Chains A and B, each alone.
Chain A
Amino acid sequence: MSRDAIAGVYTQMLTDPSYRKIVADDPKVLNTWDLSREEKAVLIKEARVKVAGTSLESGPVMKHLVSKRGPMLSPPVASGLGVALNQVAGLPLGALNGPGFLSNAACCPWGKPIIGKVPDQLRGKGK
């Protein structure tokens, strides 16, 4: 459950910046969780560094989760962490619904994809 615990605390830090600050300033708050000493250190380090966007991938907690073998995260924790990471990165959390989109959009091939940008350097080369 320890992996779930560190992922859960990190999710809370991502969704609530004030909680991140609390962890950074008063690490004792982590004692209420089932965390190892190493995991607490990782979370404190995470709380004290500024990470955003794609650098989330290389943050202390994500690195820890990848480097430590153990049971998989429970589905709600995994899903919750993914949602939180996407939210911080400004990415959609579900289907592209709403004006200008369609509720079944973006399903290959039945909802039609939206045409993307082509890098300029690739234009004019038969591609």
Chain B
Amino acid sequence: MTLASQASREARPGGRWSTPDLLTDLLRLAALERAVAHVIAGWVPKVPDLDDKLAIAAGFEDAMVRASALRQHALALLERDELGLAADPLWTAPLRELDRCADQAAVVDGLLGDVPSFLLDRYRALEAGLDPLLDTRLIATVSTAIGRLASDVSPIGTAARRRVHQGSLAAALASAWTGQSAARVPLDDALWQPNDRVPVPARPAGRERPTTGVRGHFRKGSRLTIEDLAGELNDNVMAELCALELLCRSSYEHPRQPWSVHLAIARHGTDEARHAAIFRRLLNANGIDESTLHQHGANYEYSYEFPECEPGSERELLWRLIILCTVLEALAIDKLPVEIGGRDFVGQSDFARALDYIAADELFHTENGLRLTRRLCEKLNLDPILERERVHGRFFGRQRDVRIEYLEADADRAAAEIAILEAPDPDGVPYVSRTEVELRLRASFTIEECQQVERWQYNPVRHERLEAPVEPASS
């Protein structure tokens, strides 16, 4: 008796699969897409123009989704032998070079022009050789990729921003596709380490950064004034950009994290890009020229690095994700009902509706962040509640310090601001916030974690499920 050999299947006339190089094609495309996501993640915070920044960010999740799907298809053909998931570093070399490039315009051109154009051609070529029955599942992935890459609408719903630029990158990608080196590395290790760190995100040249210590937006009058609306919407754009950029760098600076982590980060990050686009559309709809408004990267800058964490360490990653996803986004869960109510109260329905959509996303962002941070805490043997307490103190300690310096620098200015801050709501909006326990529990917070936020005293009304007295924080 003889066992049937694997080699004879590989040697079958016409190949084992429907196209002779199907497995290699899948591995090449998976490696390329993963590398594209990596370059996008590294560069989003470094691109100053907001249209370009959001245009490249829009492709982050799609690239990561396609990479993951192709990896799974390849794994299926490999009969689940993970050792077969290997890549030739040559395949992604042009993208590694692009990432090293100091020319920001060339990177944007590449990511919006040569790269999607090259991928589109490769997917079309692959699709042409597939069998409609044998490859049904793969065809679904490939045709979705073709549809997304050819669409006039970006993955975040804005008009696609394409560059036609058949330059050296296009030639390098084509050459790498057909080239072959002797080297093979595990697909999961095919990325490169970060080239840099970015403590301050890029913003459009010519837009003023507010004075250190000032509030990002300071409401001096009714929500219905164009000045307040402009300041409010613009600050929301800045906050969404900060979240997007921090997530991008958290992916880029940790290429060895599992693909599932990058996929989760990419999904969250792409939501933030869409949220920024939503607020920019509201600015535009209200006739507000954003180029005249302030710019800043406050939440990013406060969350990027911490004296307690070694730069580039997993603990730094943990602290970034804790503060962004499980403190700030979670506080948005508590505050958004008040904000939405206030906008409806003054008749700003479009603004309120936009916030309703965003509020729905915040639950996912928080749940996603809790999952990622709990996993990291388990790996690092750290305690989520303890770490959240620490990073909360550091993040707001920095804001406290600059604010106090600002207030002390000019007593009259401070008094005027304090008077406005302590005055009744200019529109008579009656709503106040509470720790939204049901929503937080649905996002997988524990009741003890709800108690933690209650102790921080962000919310004046106590939720009935937090009846046990919570000791106020004494400073």
A residues within 8 Å of B by Cβ? 53-54, 57, 65-69, 72-73, 75-76, 78-79, 81-83, 85-86, 89-97, 99-119, 122, 126-127
In Å, the complex CA distance between A99 and B418 comes to: 6
For the complex formed, measure the closest distance between the CB of A14 and the CB atoms of chain B, giving whole angstroms.
Answer: 13
Select from chain A the residue with minimum beta-carbon distance to B204.
A126
For window 99-158 of B, CB contacts with A under 8 Å fall at none
Inside 8 A of A75's CB, which chain B residues have their CB?
A: 385, 446, 448-449, 451-452
Contact present for B389 and A79 (CB under 8 Å):
yes
User: Hey, which chain B residues are within 8 Å of A103, CB to CB?
Assistant: 457-458, 460
Q: Are A54 and B383 in contact (CB under 8 A)?
A: no
CB distance B200 to A115 under 8 Å?
no
The answer to whether B201 touches A116, judged by C-beta atoms less than 8 angstroms apart, is no
A73-B385, A99-B421 provided; 15 other pairs, C-beta below 8 A? A75-B449, A79-B386, A79-B451, A82-B386, A86-B393, A89-B393, A92-B475, A93-B475, A96-B399, A113-B302, A114-B406, A118-B209, A122-B199, A127-B200, A127-B202
Does A107 lie within 8 Å of B209, measured CB to CB? no
Closest to A76 in B: B448
Docked Cα-Cα span, A112 to B212, in Å, equals: 13
Instruction: Report how many A-B pairs have Cβ atoms within 8 Å.
Output: 210
Whether a CB of chain A sits under 8 angstroms from the CB of B307 is yes
Decide if A115 touches B298 in the complex (CB within 8 Å): yes
Let me know if A115 and B448 touch, CB within 8 A: no
Cα distance A109–B407 in the bound complex, in angstroms:
22
Contacts of B387 in A (CB 8 A): 82
Segment at the A interface, from B5-13, B28-36, B324-332: B324-332
Asked if A85 and B217 sit within 8 Å, CB to CB, the answer is: no
Q: Kindly specify which of B62-70, B82-90, B233-241 makes contact with the partner chain.
A: B233-241
User: Which residue in A53, A69, A104, A114 is a CB contact (below 8 Å) of B458?
Assistant: A104
By a CB distance below 8 angstroms, the chain A residues around B380 are 66
Q: From B237, which residue of chain A is reached at the shortest CB distance?
A: A109
In whole angstroms, how far apart are the Cα atoms of A107 and B171 in the complex?
Answer: 47
Residue of B nearest to A57 (CB): B308
Q: Given the known A-B contacts A54-B307, A82-B385, A103-B458, are A116 and B398 also in contact in the complex, defined by CB atoms under 8 Å?
A: yes
- Write out the residue numbers on chain B whose beta carbons fall within 8 Å of the beta carbon of A54: 307-308
Known: A82-B385, A100-B407. A115 touches B210 (CB 8 A): yes
Q: Is B216 within 8 A of A113, CB to CB?
A: yes
Which residue, of B239, B387, B390, B472, has the highest number of chain A Cβ atoms within 10 A? Answer: B390
Contacts of A57 in B (CB 8 A): 308
Most interface-central of A81, A112, A117 (chain B CB within 10 A): A112
> What is the 8 Å Cβ interface bit string for chain B, positions 444-456, against chain A (1 contact, 0 not)?
0010110110011
Chain B neighbourhood of A108, CB < 8 A: 239, 242-243, 299, 324, 328-329, 331-332
Contact of A92 among B242, B328, B397 (CB under 8 A): B397
Q: In the complex, what's the smallest C-beta–C-beta distance from B395 to chain A, in angstroms?
A: 8
Please give, as numbers and ranges, the residues of chain B lying within 8 Å of A97 by CB-CB distance. Answer: 457
A and B contact pairs by CB, cutoff 8 A, 24 listed? A54-B307, A66-B380, A68-B381, A73-B386, A78-B384, A79-B455, A86-B389, A92-B392, A94-B456, A94-B473, A99-B422, A100-B404, A108-B329, A109-B235, A109-B332, A113-B216, A113-B302, A114-B213, A114-B215, A115-B209, A115-B214, A117-B212, A126-B48, A127-B201
Distance to closest chain B CB from A122 (angstroms) = 5
Residues of B within 8 A of A94 (CB): 455-458, 472-473, 475
